[in-house]
Structure 1
Amino acid sequence: MNATSVSRVAHSRFGVLPDGSEVERVVLQWDGGIEASIITYGASLQALMVPDVAGRRDDVVLGHDAFEGYLARRQFFGATVGRYANRIAGARFVLDGTKVQLAANNGVNALHGGLEGFDRRNWRIVRIDDGDRPAVTLSYTSADREEGYPGTLDVEVTWRLSGPMELSLDMTARTDRPTVVNLTNHSFFNLSGARSGRNILNHHLTVAADHFLAIDTGAIPLPQPPSEVAGTPFDFREGFEVGARIRNDHPQLRVGRGYDHNFCLAPAGGEPRFAARLAEPTSGRVLELFTNQPGLQVYSGNFLDGSSGGKGDRLYRQSDAICLEPHAWPDTPNRPDFPTARLAPGEVYRHTTSYRFTHAIQGAIGTQSEVELPRSGR
């Protein structure tokens, strides 16, 4: 099969910002495979059409059908999050002996880049590739002291169909002053479909982590080493249903109102490694996530409260989706015992994540038995 003949790209307007600037959408399509819709607002994954085991395609990420929904309320649906994903305690840290004060937007803490993070910026399309692996590259320049972060940061994000059933994400950043960088994508997944009306408690989750970070009531890691997952509801090494233990009376499930914790993966850098597997029994869809990041934030949609609508005029409620966010550990700038998120001039921050979809053999959810479509260029 000639990959060039079956892939294509569509480019259109998705909405208009209050200042009159256009929000664009680029749709990456692979006949018989997946289709990813990327919008410039937040460099966000707006839709992801994935076939089920019978070949029926459905959108598996939460979000909005029209741009007005993204503008009305900040919920990070599918967004690129930065300059620092997750939380920084007290919205401050010390870098090279200098105190850095950030914008506090989560109580006293800084969350997902501050008041106007990368998810609230309209990125610029710098390149569209309609070749054998269709892709779009977007860029954003974060000014020195934006949200309090030092250094001018030049960021590029590339979304690419790496094969008929694989979506890859590559992010790079460069700075002119020492700073901290921690980027991620914040997609909310429901492999039953964003309009299905079913939650994700039946999804079978595997996470390749022996440890996780226990948190306080502000979701800041406790001042202790990472906790072992063994013997706790956080042990997903062999795979388990998301809902099987989510209501266990465990102190960390109480404080997080479910799962909202960083799982400690292998050290960052190098080629992407297996981090997580999510499988849904009815559709047979299986998502495998590979990343070069040192952490994976697992968030079970605990704060979706039905107060706003989503795709298909549905109200999103608790556990209607799950986020698998690869990134550095939270509060790393204040924790010298954590893997560093420091970026210096001349260095290049690199984040690579791949979302590989397969289909489970009937009755094999929770195992490694699945039917996988061929990938191009692998």
Structure 2
Amino acid sequence: MNQNQTKKTFKEKWNDYFARRRYYIALEEQAKQDKIQAKREKEMQKQLEKDQKAQARRDKVTWYKKVKWAIQDFFHKINNSKPVVKVKDALSFVPRKLTRNLTHRKKKALWGVVFVIPLIIGFGYFFLIPFITTVFYSFSHIQTIGLNPVTGDNMGVITENIGFDNYQFVWNQHSTFRQRLLTSFGNTLLEVPLVLIFSLIIAVVLNTQFPGRSFVRAVFFMPVIFNSQAVEVAMKTGAELTAATAETTSTMFQGGFDFSFFLLEAGVPGGVVTFLGNVTSSIYDVITYSGVQILIFLSAIQSVPKHLYEAAKMEGATQYEIFWKITFPMVSPLMLTAGVYTVVDSFLRSDLLSILDYYSVNNFVALTGGLGMVTAHGIHAAMSWLFCLSSIILISLVLIVISRVVFYYDE
């Protein structure tokens, strides 16, 4: 009997212990919930006070608003005055007569065509005609007639079809064009993934909350401003000092540590060492020319619906899973835009442009092998087309590769 009573007492104590434990856990959870609720109410109160202050500032009549209202009232009176109304009626008389029997949809389509006509004219005159002209010039011997002795105007050019002589000179006989074209193609092919990966990582970091975020964003976009043509012309006076500083710095680092030699001595294959050497040597260029891509990815990340992140956090997803399952698929469509921009920007910084500028003058070049003479204008056109074709090929490769990982949320 005493033994049964002892067993029962032990069981009751055990149950009482777990009951108290559950009670204390419930109290802790309730305290946490109360603290979270108090914090939310405090934040809501702060936000409400902030909104009230902002609304009070908007409702306050300042001198700026008075001047703005006076200007608006002045232009409103002028716009509704009788002379202006008569002028508008006279100008709109003919369009009203022409579109009197048209439906609203057709009127909208007609006005759309009217607004597109200047763009079509500009595209045809400034792009399409020169584009087609360079095709003929690349297969022609071009000679200028000269200047008009009276007016001093250019009297035109004489063209003669010479087949592929211009292309043969550019590809086979020019000393540096083919090498520089292939080098630019390879550097761009290497630079595109590096710039895209670096830009996406920096955009994710800049999207987080930390002190000085606006300053860091400005720092990453500053190279885009400093690499503009206006700043480059303004800073040409310091080009020699910059070159001397860069040479001294590179010599100092090379003397301190040779990364490629270290990898070769460690038994790393030569191809891998070359790739890693090119990557490390282009780090500065990657950082310098990633400003626009960072802004593209940052705007894409900020446009991702917030409820996707909230649902993922409620399901217990980690930051790693959120990035690969939500952030990366949602920003992938803009990788096409960033990739094409990177290719175009890389080719615009290529050394080939200096060669093209060299052949922009009118002179003659003798072809070896008895093929006659070719002109600088024909060589310039052939180089431009080879440059254009290489850009198109690289852009097509980028679009094909990136389109395989693109995810469209609406679909």
Higher strand proportion (structure 1 or 2): 1
The normalised TM-score by structure 1 is 0.21
Larger radius of gyration: 2
The normalised TM-score by structure 2 is 0.20
Higher helix proportion (structure 1 or 2): 2
Higher RCO structure (Cα 8 Å, ≥6 apart)? 2
